[in-house]
Amino acid sequence: MKKICIFGANGFIGSNLLAKFEKDFFNTALIRTKRNNNCDVLPKLNTIIDKDYINNIEEIIAGHDVVINLIGILNQTKTNSFKYAHAEIPKIIASSCVNNNIDQFIHISALGAN
């Protein structure tokens, strides 16, 4: 059984994946900055609430076989830019995967851009 770590599981794609993972995988870690409704609905999944997750990625993904990044924004704000959400965070996660010898990293963008 693979150990999977998912960043940004609160969105549309993440919500649909979680139903499958909750049923078939018991070693799935969801990384969130706050609790939401599906934290209680999916008790078999290990939900890590970490507001400072970006500084703890190395520790969080250690020991996982697969890392999935679903973090994305559709609207830029003063505190959350497209560049940070769609370029810098994936780069940090990918680098951490290399450092932890995780060769299965899946990144899905919400922008639909080239």
Q: Which amino acid is at 17?
A: L
% of the chain exceeding 70 in pLDDT: 68
In this predicted structure, what is the pLDDT of residue 25? Answer: 57
Q: Given a cut of 70, is residue 52 above it in pLDDT?
A: no
Candidate from 5-9, 26-30, 82-86 with smallest mean pLDDT: 26-30
Name the band, by pLDDT with cuts 50, 70 and 90, for residue 41. Answer: very low
HSE-CB of 59 using CA atoms within 13 angstroms: 7
Name the band, by pLDDT with cuts 50, 70 and 90, for residue 23. Answer: low
Q: b/e map of 62-94 (b: 16 or more CB within 10 Å)?
A: eebebbbbbbbbeeeeeeeeeeebbeebbebbe
Q: Given a cut of 80, is residue 51 above it in pLDDT?
A: no
Nearest to 54 by CA among 15, 85, 76, 81: 85
Name the band, by pLDDT with cuts 50, 70 and 90, for residue 106. Answer: very high
Q: Given a cut of 60, is residue 49 above it in pLDDT?
A: no
